[in-house]
Amino acid sequence: MAKIDGTLYTEMNGVDGDAWVKAYHTCPSSKADLIKTNLTAGGVQGGNPTLGAPSEKQCVKQVEFERAPWAKVTEEPRVVVEFGVGSRPDYFGKSGSVCAVFEIQAKYLRRGSTAEGGWCAYPGVPIRWIGVE
């Protein structure tokens, strides 16, 4: 299992919570389209800027679900979106995946898998769209 740190991005990197940081999310092109259209980290409609960062427990559940989707997860596994911040991931995952690139405010980020360099955020937090790589 990937190790979870649980630290907020602002604590780890000493930046102001309102600072915008570049994020990279590997996903199907259809989801990248939703992220672009809805301007939210997970592509959901009706973004909510008051959400804040997810809890460490929610980030752990997300990693468990992503790595072992057959496991019995008792909580909703899609409460957070996991992605890389600061540098583009080296892999794109399954065939048909793209890398959605956007900016997200640091106050919405909590450390996810330290083994994979991941960060977590709620899917409904606002983003600034950059493009697809």
Residue 2 inside a domain? The answer is: no
Angle at 37 between CA 59 and CA 127, to 5 degrees: 45
Residue 51 inside a domain? The answer is: yes
pLDDT value for 50: 93
Number of domains in the chain: 1
Residue 4 inside a domain? The answer is: no
Mean pLDDT score of the chain, rounded to an integer? 77
pLDDT value for 74: 43
């990197």: which residue's tokens? 13
Least confident of 15-24, 66-75, 93-102: 66-75
Summarised one tens digit per residue, pLDDT across range 103-128 is 999 999 888 776 666 788 888 999 99
